[in-house]
Amino acid sequence: MSSPDATPSSKGGALRPIPMLIFGSRWLQLPLYVGLIIAQGVYVVLFLKELWHLFAHAFDFSEQQIMLAVLGLIDVVMISNLLVMVIVGGYETFVSRLNLQGHPDEPEWLSHVNASVLKIKLAMAIIGISSIHLLRTFIEAGALSSGKSNYTETGVMWQTIIHTVFILSAIGIAMVDKLSNAAIEDAKQAAGH
């Protein structure tokens, strides 16, 4: 016999009003994801602007300037990829299923996405973006001694420290995730015996 507080599943009937309100509140995130889609559009415009700038100055730029411009394009693409992961993965995890099973364009990673996987993927994307920024800084830091650089030695040092913190944070997230998954597996095995 079930308790009077038992909530029927979606197969057994409708939710009571308070659980339905709480469960339905996840749709409040929809405008946030739409906003990120708009931000994605802004990044497309920025990419096209930077690409045009590179094309227009292809014969004027030095090799280093071309490399910095290309790194800028890569940076925009990586941030755009991060946006896609947050939009698609976040919506699928926290709002509603996209029901893409069998669709030829279904992202491979989406089939096993959950909050934990999304955290690790986001951490890795942030490290990638930070790496691009740090590489740009290192390339431009060659002009530190001439005084023509936009960076200072202290600025370069802090960027390196922050990048290292990102890496250590990602390692920490992965270790905590591995430990919690191992604990869940151990609990399942103990319950099965």
Angle ∠(88,116,80) on CA atoms, nearest 5: 35
pLDDT at 13: 67
25 versus 113: which is more confidently predicted?
Answer: 25
pLDDT tens column, 40-54: 999 999 999 999 999
Structure-token pair, residue 40: 């994605």
- Select from 89, 98, 91 the least CA-distant residue to 125: 89
Mean pLDDT over 57-83 rounds to: 90
C-alpha 53: how far from chain center = 27
pLDDT tens column, 9-41: 545 567 788 988 998 899 999 999 999 999 999
pLDDT band with cut points at 50, 70 and 90 for residue 144:
low
Separation of first and last alpha carbons in the chain: 27
Checking if the pLDDT of 69 tops 70, the result is: yes
Mean pLDDT over 87-99 rounds to: 86
Structure-token pair, residue 8: 């029927």
Q: Give the Å distances, CA to CA, from 70 to 44, 52, 120, 136.
A: 15, 12, 27, 10
Task: Give the pTM.
Answer: 0.70
pLDDT at 148: 67
